[in-house]
Structure 1
Amino acid sequence: MPATLHPASTPTHLAAAGSLLLITGGSRGIGAATARLAAQAGWHVVLGYASDAAAAEAVVAELHALGVMAWALQADVADEAAVGRLFSQVDTLCARNALVLRGLANNAGVVDRAQRLDEMSGERLRRMVAVNLLGSLYCAREAVRRMSTRHGGTGGAIVNLSSVAGRLGAPGQYVDYAATKGAIDTFTLGLAREVATEGVRVNAVRPGVIDTEIHASGGQPERAWQLAPQIPMQRPGAADEVAQAVVWLLSPAASYTTGAVLDVTGGR
């Protein structure tokens, strides 16, 4: 049977009417940039955030100005119960506003100060795995329960945020962070194959050195530009450049793409 082709006049980058996208870690950086671009593509948006309510609400105000519905909901993705409450709130918003959850951007993540593994505390290691890996697993599980045709859903797309550190290992800096991102790559491939016949696509974006606030949280606010000489393009990336890849993978334009890990690294 021949494949169904989109007519040339169909804007395949636009979300279907009534589509809701949940972005974790949406109050700043790549998450906020993804929210703005997604709104321009017609997505309604829920921003999940851990603690900075003011920053999340500021992004929501920007999204409203773009003509879409948007909400900020607090949740610590490392807490399984909190993730369950977050998705219950999303269910309520969908029911009240005639929306369908069709997208998840698993963006929430943490990094820590540069250390060798033999200097890292157990508390640090547990936090890294809980936020960066378990948080993505919890959120993807809840999304599949709502999107998959096996559960009565109408399909959707999940994009996990990985990191080039997962390929490079980040020795002497944060091998713990790199390990969680390597696991995200493997998780993306496995889940994509698991739900491929259920209307759910799963992909990942693997950013390189991006000029966002996350470096300051690791005690190295100038790190992105300090590493520029190691990048073939001789500069760090911008959050918008990563967001473009995320929004494309969420869109119908990527309808035959699943199990992919897309590098946005400036060649690094």
Structure 2
Amino acid sequence: MEKVIVITGASRGIGAATAYLAADKGYAVCVNYLRNQEAAKKVVDGIKKLGNKAIALSADVASETDVIALFNSVDRQLGTVTALVNNAGILEQQMRVENMDANRLQRILATNIIGSFLCAREAVKRMSTKHGGTGGAIVNVSSGASRLGSPGEYVDYAASKGAIDTMTIGLAKEVAEEGIRVNAVRPGFIDTEIHASGGEPDRIERVKEFIPMKRGGQAIEVATAILWLLSAEASYTTGSFIDITGGK
């Protein structure tokens, strides 16, 4: 049976690095993206040049209709999913809680929490031995912010990742006897474009002196941990977390 992986938000950063590494490990890869079709196509083309199978599919993970369509398309084009990486996530401009409005909060929570739940639901329906599946693995991309809270910057984002931590623990216990493992990684200050979304592209330079290792992380360092959690080497690991935070 072919190994098939869905990686949400995989057109850049951690998602793209995970897509390349998953392909190298023998997965047929679904590169999910929201708007940046050109970036997603570049990832897919790069994987295909290496002789591996990949497709790019647009879907807003906050939309139930989009998520259902995404997994149905993967069924048709690649086969039944055996691995899911819930990587899609957003943050907005740095701001104190007292200045956040409901629309901002709804956007953050819809993508970061509801999106992860919807994708996990569709994956479980396909992977679970209870539903005739053969098992599989899910890795949720949380954040070191879930432990630190991101005061003065992204308390809403941090709270959404705290919810992902709880989801990881609960879902792992719920589906453990159905052949599905659920784990999470908690990246810290990783050198990706997400910092620009918060209004500070050079954020890592500002904070690196507060990181014990005195540097930011690279997307491939997160991807390597994700692929280990998906692999048979982690066969007795579920409901667990790997912090990739340089010691912070």
Q: Deviation of residue 218 (structure 1)?
A: 1.0
Matched letter for residue 22 of structure 2: A
SS of residue in 1 equivalent to 2:178: coil
* 1:1-268 → structure 2 map (5 Å cutoff): 18-94=2-78, 99-268=79-248
TM-score w.r.t. the length of structure 2 is 0.99
Whole-Å Cα distance in 2 between the matches of residues 70 and 219 of structure 1?
32
Where do 4+ consecutive residues of structure 1 move more than 3 Å?
none
Whole-Å Cα distance in 2 between the matches of residues 65 and 40 of structure 1?
12
Q: Is the 8 A contact 2:80 2:126 kept in 1?
A: no
RMSD: 0.8
| Greater helix fraction, Structure 1 or Structure 2 | 2
- Which 5+ residue runs of structure 2 have no aligned equivalent? none
Report what 1:5 is aligned to.
none
Aligned-pair identity (%): 58
Whole-Å Cα distance in 1 between the matches of residues 220 and 55 of structure 2?
21
Deviation sequence 1:89-111 (CA, Å, 0-9, x none): 111113xxxx3311000000001
Q: Deviation of residue 118 (structure 1)?
A: 1.0
Q: Deviation of residue 253 (structure 1)?
A: 1.1
SS of residue in 2 equivalent to 1:220: coil
Q: Give the paired residue count.
A: 248
SS of residue in 1 equivalent to 2:223: helix
Whole-Å Cα distance in 2 between the matches of residues 100 and 69 of structure 1?
14
Deviation sequence 1:53-80 (CA, Å, 0-9, x none): 0000000011111221100000000111
Deviation sequence 1:194-230 (CA, Å, 0-9, x none): 0000000000000010010000111110001211001
SS of residue in 2 equivalent to 1:100: coil
Whole-Å Cα distance in 1 between the matches of residues 72 and 200 of structure 2?
37
Whole-Å Cα distance in 2 between the matches of residues 90 and 100 of structure 1?
7
SS of residue in 1 equivalent to 2:15: helix
TM-score w.r.t. the length of structure 1 is 0.91
SS of residue in 1 equivalent to 2:31: strand
